[in-house]
């Protein structure tokens, strides 16, 4: 195996701490897997194993397959010499080994996201009854007070998310409700953390009463167990001789501490020796801080302190023009960004082309390959995107193509436009049609069962479950559903001449209608079943794959919990919850189940996804849409989506204020206004997100921004800078 010059030093690793910073497309998964195999081949791990910790379940499977295949190529049968898992998987192993060391019963259970939402929601509702409603209203602005009756339902959902984020922050920093209470004076009046403390206390009480721990508890308790129990600590240190961490720019403090402890080598004299710890990542691709407790500062610190520090700065993914554009964004940010604190958003680490390995050299195209369009409206963006996609696919049918957009709602919107134009696509978002298909089907079945004489609900259901061309399907379904529902169910309408003639439009759709109709009749015949059993029976009738079965079982569990909370819940109410795309309980479980299998782009389908979900993927051609100020703010004086406009100015970012108060409780310095600091962090993360998006493209890159008079939005300053760069370099090339 021939390695590049920037990979060779990494492959010489024998032990100690090593930091590897890898630019996009440098092959960090490849080199990590190769190094793991080399350690196993040379038996450096004996008598222990090599542990690889990575971020996503799909990455776990990818690493396992790569390492297994590489070992097989070497003729080595050593699958027992390594383990790959997520950090939560590792923490669970620690707790299952010695639950008593963490103060847990051996039958402890991990709460799922569904139950967690129930418990938090219950805690918030109880707080509201005990005076929380009055406290909440005191935080509202004049506008918020005026619109409260109209919009409070949505705002309370926001508050539930704020509570979840800040309780996680408290837990991961080892701060209990009791500690918050003890420090009431330190926190002062109108403290966000103190306001939330009753919710935190009640949530913890419900977990304890029912024998649950949540995902934050798993990490914190595993860390405490390793610290307090010497035998447990030694067991894991001996079990894993080498520890590798992938995507470590997305680590949090507890994760770093757990891996540091396990990687320590302890001698016979009980004195700590070196750590065999390798951390691999890219500070410029740290884009998860908005959603998690991750922070790139921990990787920055490791880069400074590691025994060895290497940079993989060569990448063969993209054309030189695309690399130059990404590098120009780095240079502009580091040297010229007007917000001085945001100049550290990107590390000054340029991507270089591959020169020394012929098979890995950068792709080349006959044209410049990067285009930027400023459009007058979002509708014009959609129209132009479809035109360019059609043109590109007609010329390059063998190439993969992706459209990246900020929001899940836009993913669905663009996917619908593509399908209208007969362009096949895959949606990658938490609310994609494919991922939520079974949820939508079940929601429409239950909606019809709740109102079985409704022609509208019957028509919607049949349209959802019947396969085939949309236009032909529409004609057939509209004609048949013009009859009475009871005549359709009895199948008497199929004896009429007008209905029989519909078979001529499309025989397969017509026959599928009859087949699905009989399935609906069978379900109607079992309507007296308990609701949870009925849902599972519907799954049996639908003949689902394993992924959709898992989702349906989750829904059945959800309904059981709901009915325990509210026995009078109707079929129609459950249907509405299922069909609400904002329901985080369903979108999360669909993502967990579908993300396990990973995703591989194919030329036959256009990928439509959010900027965040594009990380780790690559396409021949990439469209970047909505490069506007609101999405990519340039100045702390701009508008920020992270701020809640209905709160008073001093409370409009309660998450940022709460995180600053957590630092205060930890006796860390809080240097300046947390709302300003949060704005700077958003600007920094959005710069990195743009950098990640640009580096997804291999051969072609199309960027679009637009004007929106209603939202007073316009193309981002970054778009203007990029457009200028393209004009200057296109002419010179």
Burial (0-12, 13-18, 19+ Cβ within 10 Å), 423: middle
Cα dihedral 670→674→679→683 (10° resolution): 20
Rg of the chain's alpha carbons, rounded to an integer? 28
Calculate the CA 725 to chain-centre distance. Answer: 31
Residue 447 in marked binding region: no
CB neighbour burial string for 327-339, b if at least 16 within 10 angstroms, e if fewer: bbbbebbbeebeb
In sequence order, the 6+-apart residues with CB closer than 8 A to the CB of 192 are: 166, 651, 654, 657, 658, 661
**Which residues sit opposite 628 in a β-bridge?**
715
The answer to whether 249 touches 146, Cβ cutoff 8 Å, is no
Backbone angles phi, psi at 29, to 5 degrees: -65, -40
- Using CA atoms, how far apart are residues 124 and 160, in angstroms rounded to an integer? 7
The SS3 assignment for 397 reads coil
Structure tokens at 460: 């919607």
Residue 678 in marked binding region: no
- Using CA atoms, how far apart are residues 328 and 318, in angstroms rounded to an integer? 15
Structure tokens at 559: 């309904």
DSSP assignment string, 702-723: EEEEE-BTTTTB-B-HHHHHHH
- Using CA atoms, how far apart are residues 61 and 674, in angstroms rounded to an integer? 39
Calculate the CA 492 to chain-centre distance. Answer: 49
Residue 25 in marked binding region: yes
- CA distances in angstroms from 291 to 255, 256, 642, 725, listed in the order given: 16, 18, 11, 32
171: nearest Cα among 136, 135, 196 = 196
CA angle 678, 682, 683 (to 5 degrees): 120
Structure tokens at 394: 């007609």
**Which residues sit opposite 9 in a β-bridge?**
none
The answer to whether 502 touches 479, Cβ cutoff 8 Å, is yes
- CA distances in angstroms from 114 to 156, 473, 559, 585, listed in the order given: 18, 36, 10, 5
The owner of tokens 């913890």 is 204
- CA distances in angstroms from 295 to 85, 198, 350, 418, 670, listed in the order given: 21, 28, 22, 37, 16
The SS3 assignment for 654 reads helix
* Helical axes 654-665 vs 674-694, angle rounded to 10°: 110
The SS3 assignment for 644 reads coil
Structure tokens at 700: 């072609």
Residue 22 in marked binding region: yes
Structure tokens at 716: 């981002």
Q: What single DSSP character describes residue 431?
A: T
Residue ranges for the known binding site for ATP are: 22-29
Annotated binding site: 22-29
């Amino acid at each position: 195996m021939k390695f590049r010059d920037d990979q060779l030093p990494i492959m010489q690793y024998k032990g100690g701490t090593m930091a590897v910073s890898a630019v996009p497309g440098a092959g960090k998964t490849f080199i990590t897997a190769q190094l793991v195999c080399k350690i196993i081949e040379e038996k450096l791990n004996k008598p222990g194993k090599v542990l690889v910790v990575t971020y996503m379940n799909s990455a776990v499977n990818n690493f396992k397959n790569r390492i297994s295949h590489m070992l097989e190529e070497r003729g080595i049968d050593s699958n027992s010499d390594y383990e790959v898992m997520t950090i939560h998987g590792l923490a669970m192993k620690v707790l299952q080994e010695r639950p008593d060391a963490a103060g847990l019963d051996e039958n402890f259970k991990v709460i799922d996201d569904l139950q967690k939402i129930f418990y938090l929601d219950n805690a918030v509702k109880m707080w509201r009854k005990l005076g929380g409603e009055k406290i909440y209203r005191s935080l509202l602005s004049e506008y918020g007070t005026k619109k409260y009756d109209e919009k409070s339902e949505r705002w309370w959902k926001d508050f539930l998310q704020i509570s979840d984020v800040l309780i996680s922050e408290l837990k991961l920093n080892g701060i209990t409700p009791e500690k918050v209470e003890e420090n009431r004076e330190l926190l002062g009046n109108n403290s966000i953390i103190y306001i939330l403390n009753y919710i935190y206390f009640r949530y913890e009480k419900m977990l304890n009463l029912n024998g649950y721990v949540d995902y934050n508890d798993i990490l914190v308790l595993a860390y405490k167990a390793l610290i307090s129990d010497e035998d447990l600590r030694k067991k894991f240190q001996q079990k894993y001789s080498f520890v590798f961490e992938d995507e470590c720019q997305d680590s949090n403090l507890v994760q770093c501490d757990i891996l540091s402890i396990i990687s320590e080598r302890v001698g016979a004299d009980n004195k700590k020796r070196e750590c065999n710890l390798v951390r691999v990542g890219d500070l410029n691709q740290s884009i998860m801080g908005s959603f998690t407790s991750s922070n790139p500062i921990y990787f920055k610190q490791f880069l400074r302190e590691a025994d060895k520090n290497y940079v993989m700065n060569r990448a063969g993914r993209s054309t030189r023009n695309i690399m130059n554009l990404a590098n120009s964004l780095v240079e502009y940010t580091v040297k010229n960004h007007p917000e001085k604190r945001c100049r550290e958003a990107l590390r000054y680490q340029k991507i270089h082309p591959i020169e020394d390995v012929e098979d890995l050299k950068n792709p080349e195209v006959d044209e410049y390959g990067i285009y930027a369009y400023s459009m007058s409206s979002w509708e014009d963006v959609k129209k132009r995107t479809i035109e360019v996609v059609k043109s590109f696919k007609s010329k390059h049918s063998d190439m993969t193509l992706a459209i990246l957009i900020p929001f899940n709602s836009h993913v669905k919107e663009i996917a619908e436009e593509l399908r209208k134009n007969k362009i096949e696509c895959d949606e990658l978002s938490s609310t994609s049609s494919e991922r939520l298909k079974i949820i939508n089907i079940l929601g429409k079945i239950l909606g019809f069962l709740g109102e079985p004489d409704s022609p509208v609900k019957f028509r919607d259901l049949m349209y959802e479950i019947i396969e085939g061309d949309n236009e032909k399907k529409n004609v057939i379904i509209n004609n048949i559903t013009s009859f009475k529902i009871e005549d359709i169910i009895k199948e008497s309408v199929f004896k009429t001449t007008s209905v029989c003639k519909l078979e001529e439009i499309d025989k397969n759709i017509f026959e599928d209608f009859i087949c699905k109709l009989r399935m609906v009749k069978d379900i109607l015949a079992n309507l007296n079943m308990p609701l949870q059993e009925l849902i599972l029976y519907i799954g049996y009738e639908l003949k689902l794959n394993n992924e959709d079965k898992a989702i349906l079982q989750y829904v059945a569990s959800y309904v059981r919990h709901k009915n325990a909370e509210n026995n009078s819940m109707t079929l129609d109410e459950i249907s509405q919850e299922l069909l609400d795309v904002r329901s985080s309980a369903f979108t999360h479980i669909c993502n967990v189940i579908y993300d396990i299998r990973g995703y591989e782009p194919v030329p036959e389908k256009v990928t439509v996804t959010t900027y965040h979900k594009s990380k780790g993927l690559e396409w021949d051609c990439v469209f970047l849409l909505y490069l506007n100020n609101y999405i990519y703010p340039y100045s702390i004086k701009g508008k920020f989506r992270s701020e809640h406009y209905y709160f008073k100015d001093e409370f409009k970012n309660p998450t940022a204020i709460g995180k600053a108060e957590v630092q205060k409780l930890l006796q860390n310095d809080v240097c300046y206004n947390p709302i300003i600091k949060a704005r700077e962090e958003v600007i920094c993360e959005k710069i990195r997100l743009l950098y990640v998006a640009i580096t997804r493209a291999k051969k072609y890159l199309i960027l679009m921004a637009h004007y929106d008079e209603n939202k007073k939005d316009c193309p981002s300053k970054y778009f203007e800078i990029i457009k200028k760069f393209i004009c200057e370099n296109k002419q010179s090339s």
